[in-house]
Structure 1
Amino acid sequence: MRTRTRRRLALQVGSLVVVLAAWWAVTAAGIVRPLYLPGPGSVWEAFVRANSCYEAGSRVLCGEQGYFMWEHLLASFRRIGVGVGAAVVLGPLLGFLMGASRWFNAVTEPYLNFLRALPPLGYIGLLIVWFGIGDISKYWLLFLAAFPPIAIATINGMRGIQSDRVHAAESMGASRWQVVTQVMLPSTMPEILSGIRIAVGFAWTTVVAAELNNGIPGIGGLAYIAGTQLQTALTIACIIVIGLCAVALDTALKYLTRALVPWYGKAA
């Protein structure tokens, strides 16, 4: 297992070196203009500049748009935390109700599917009209992006519960609350955690859309403004940071799933 892991890591590092070398070669040879594709060195300089203070004439400026990049990143994390956090609370609740009640599922499922099918940019304008360009509209946008995957995953988990387990618990004198907390919840937990993992990834990809308007501080807002100002190196630096954070979040949720439901996939 360790040998396989080391080989995989070596392949990943090797591919990264090849990509960086090809990137550097293309930009150093002048095949692509720096406006469209700056070199790795320029992107690194933009990243360092966005996280440090520098002199601009008679003034001393810190970061970009008045904030360090890590402050932009924390602002985006806070928005995602609020929006996804609300979805983590309400998504499983709705999913349990829809999975437990056929008539409630028949009434609400079309609306849930309609919401799931809508792209975030489809209703961001309406959210701005309702809640303004502040953080409230961003919270709602991220919530609406994360809510359907969690609710649907919970429904699938409820439908996958074996009725024999429920009947066995009831025959042994378990109350309805005990059946829910000790049979249904553990059985659906793997699906819920998978839904949360998908929802977090989807919400993170939506952060740029959420921060198109008044998104400063915010890593998505910084990437958007840098692009409109033709600061390509800074834009690429923001994109790399967004991508690395997405990978880190997904990895953390994967290990969290393994820790919370270690039996998943190992027992029949």
Structure 2
Amino acid sequence: MTGPNQDETTVVAETDPLGQSLRVAADHRRSRRTQRLRKLGLSSAVLVVALAVWWLVTRLELVPALYLPSPGAVWDAFVQSNTCRDLDSGRTVCGEQNYYMWEHLIASMQRIVVGVGVAVVLGPLVGFLMGSIEWLNTALEPYLNFLRSLPPLGYIGLLIVWFGIGNTSKYWLLFLAAFPPIVIATINGVRGVREDSIHAARSMGASRWQVGRHIVLPATLPEVIGGIRIAVGFAWTTVVAAELNAGLPGIGGLAYVSGQQLQTALTIACIIVIGLAAVALDALLKHLGTLLVPWYGRA
């Protein structure tokens, strides 16, 4: 038999769709929170295992310390690169190569901001034009693909000849690394706009400018943001090549110089910092993409 309380609950559920929707949303949030915790737990477990294996290999001296220093030695190198220390000669030295590691990191970030920033401004504009004007795309696409296929080390020497060993050549190198992915992503976004949406807007009296602003731009924006994420990642991997010559201060330059001086622990510390900075940048761009295009994947 069905009790009166059960009947009342059924009636409330049927007559209160808002409350039911809120409960479904709360269950969905709890499920997503549980999934994030599981992923975090799995990632943490893998990290702990990797550190344990690393420590065990160095503890048993299976690999010489010159080639693979212990996690403790890498941590000491990281701490030393961010603090001051007194030498036997009585002189006080701060950081590495006259700069703290965080100053090296900020110098590289500034180069990324300038080089990639210009690409973020010009790339979507060029991609939008190439995606909208067929003859322009036909004329420029081969050169865009040619530039995209070139490794940064292939033209760093030429950029140094043209612009010197200062920051200008580094800005150009990072710009050329980030520009093609953004342009290509924008072209794909423009060409992926549904024609029936454009025709519907035009049939309702929308001008070409209104179609571009309200139809093409929102539909293209997710692809542009994805291209920017790829471009920033590629430019960040290029920062070491950009800082091979006169790259101090710079985290890539510090990694290169410390490797030449056989400071393996410091080199590994720099590599870890470069990787963590790349992950943080990508997470930031992903979050910005979620804020700018909240409708992506839902409509």
- Per the TM superposition, whether the score is higher than 0.5 is yes
What residue number does 1:154 align with? 186
How far did 1:165 drift? 1.7
**One-letter amino acid of the counterpart of residue 168, structure 2:** I
Q: For 1:116-173, what per-residue CA distance to the aligned partner results, in whole angstroms no more than 9, with x for missing partners?
A: 0111111001000000000000000000000000000000001001122222222222
Distance 1:23 1:108 in 2: 49
CA distance in 1, matches of 2:35, 2:141: 44
The alignment partner of 2:248 has SS state of coil
1:236 to 234, 253, 268: 268
Question: What SS does the aligned partner of 2:288 have?
Answer: helix
Gaps of 5+ in 1: none
**SS of corresponding position for 1:214:** coil
Provide the residue aligned with 1:259 in structure 2: 291
Of 167-176 and 153-162, deviating more is 167-176
Deviates more, 1:119-128 or 1:176-185: 176-185
Task: Provide the C-alpha distance between the structure 2 equivalents of 1:252 and 1:177, rounded to a whole number of angstroms.
Answer: 31
* Counterpart-to-counterpart distance in 1, 2:244 and 2:161: 14
The root-mean-square deviation of aligned C-alpha atoms, in Å, is 0.8
Shift of 1:3: 2.1
Identify the residue that residue 44 of structure 2 maps to in structure 1: 13
Number of the residue aligned with 1:208: 240
2:229 partner letter: R
Which of 171, 174, 198 does residue 139 from structure 1 map onto?
171
Q: Does residue 83 in structure 1 map to residue 115 in structure 2?
A: yes
SS at match of 2:157: helix
Write the deviation string for residues 183-233 of structure 1: whole angstroms up to 9, x where unpaired.
Answer: 111110000000000000000000000000000000000000000000000
Greater RCO structure (CA 8 Å; 6+ sep) = 1
- Write the letter of the residue equivalent to 2:163: F
**In 2: Cα distance, 1:78 partner to 1:181 partner:** 32
Q: Of residues 97, 107, 114 in structure 1, which corresponds to 2:129? A: 97
- In the other structure, the counterpart of 1:196 is 228
Larger mean Cα displacement after TM superposition, 210-219 or 179-188: 179-188
Identity %: 70
User: In the alignment, which of 39, 47, 52 is matched to residue 78 of structure 2?
Assistant: 47
- The residue number in structure 1 matching 2:153 is 121
SS at match of 1:123: helix
| TM-score relative to the length of structure 1 | 0.98
Candidates 204, 210, 216, aligned match of 1:178:
210
The answer on 1:106 being equivalent to 2:138 is: yes
Determine which structure has more spread, i.e. the larger CA radius of gyration.
2
The list of structure 1 runs, each at least 4 consecutive aligned residues, that deviate by more than 6 angstroms after superposition, is none
2:102 aligned with 1:70? yes
Distance 1:97 1:7 in 2: 44
Aligned residues: 267
